Amino acid sequence: MEYYVLTLFPDMIREGMNTSIIGRAIENDVISLEAINIRDYTQNKHGRTDDYPYGGGAGMVMQAQPIYDAYRSIIDRLDYRPMVVYMTPQGRVFDQQMAQELALQKGLIFLCGHYEGVDERVLDEMDVLPVSIGDFVLTGGELPAMCMIDAISRMIPGVLHNEESAEDDSFGDGLLEFPQYSRPEVWRGREVPKILLSGDHAKVDAWRREQSLMRTADRRPDLLLTAAISPKEQDFVKKYLAKKEDL
């Protein structure tokens, strides 16, 4: 996977992505990441990349020309055209399924907006996919782009090592993950659930599955509508919720 990030703050991207698992994947050439400074492509003699909005109103608008030239500097040296993801609170909301789908791409270009927005014409010209990371407004698209790069990269073979396996993750099967415990067996009087010490793998798996179901029912009941759960498990959830009602 090749990531290209069009931004006015390339250092934010480079600094944010050079540590931990993503930093290691870049170091090992499993993925590559290039942050392109839009300002390097402006034709304005004062280095400006934004201007007042036609029609008036508050804030500034990022101009088309520097963004487009920065974009062309990428695609003109590639023999394929990567999808362009435009980070905006007005986009489709990013989720695990989109991460899985985008992980199949050969390359991705992220456009990070700032100020009041980006001249609509350059978005049309680049045929962008508008994506939001949630219903809140950030000061720029850099953090959202980094969130997406992190979530997508975890889905790429070779990025996670065995001990970091994505298999049991929350959302893998549409459910939240079960609770985890490590040493010591008793901490501040709180005991590790006995079943986890039993060595009975079938029982542990069954317990964890129930925990996932209960946790999802408690915290994200909306996920149960689309999660891959059996009729028996649906019954379990119903009984669990009914019992909670009684308390």
Active site residues per annotation: 89, 116, 154, 169
* Of positions 141, 146, 178, 212, contacts ligand ADE by CB under 6 A: 141
The nearest distance, CB 52 to ligand ADE, in angstroms, is 20
CA separation for the pair 158, 108 (Å, rounded): 18
* Of positions 16, 66, 144, 174, contacts ligand ADE by CB under 6 A: 144
Residue 7 binds ligand ADE (CB under 6 A): no
DSSP-derived 3-state class of residue 83: strand
**Structural contact between residues 204 and 198, judged by C-beta atoms closer than 8 angstroms:** yes
The nearest distance, CB 57 to ligand ADE, in angstroms, is 18
Residue 88 binds ligand ADE (CB under 6 A): yes
Q: State the number of binding residues for ligand ADE (CB under 6 A).
A: 11
Cβ closest to ligand ADE, residue 87 vs residue 227 = 87
The alpha carbon of residue 20 and the mean position of all alpha carbons in its chain are separated, in whole angstroms, by: 16
* Of positions 136, 199, 226, 230, contacts ligand ADE by CB under 6 A: 136
Cβ closest to ligand ADE, residue 63 vs residue 132 = 132
Please report where in the chains the tokens 């402006």 appear, as a residue: 42
The nearest distance, CB 64 to ligand ADE, in angstroms, is 18
The nearest distance, CB 112 to ligand ADE, in angstroms, is 8
- For residue 206, which phi and psi values (nearest 5 degrees)? -65, -45
Burial of 115 (0-12, 13-18, 19+ CB in 10 A): middle
Which residue, 138, 141, 41, 134, is CA-closest to 84?
141
| Preceding omega of 184 cis (within 30 degrees of 0) | yes
CA separation for the pair 221, 107 (Å, rounded): 35
Interaction mask 96-135, ligand ADE, x per CB under 6 A: ------------------------------------xxx-
**Structural contact between residues 87 and 141, judged by C-beta atoms closer than 8 angstroms:** yes
Residue 82 binds ligand ADE (CB under 6 A): no
Please list, in sequence order, all residues whose beta carbon lies within 8 angstroms of the beta carbon of residue 224, skipping any fewer than 6 positions away.
Answer: 216, 217, 237
Residue 202 binds ligand ADE (CB under 6 A): no
The nearest distance, CB 28 to ligand ADE, in angstroms, is 28
Which residue, 138, 155, 144, 133, is CA-closest to 1?
155
Residue 153 binds ligand ADE (CB under 6 A): no
Interaction site with ligand ADE (CB under 6 A): 87-89, 132-134, 136-138, 141, 144
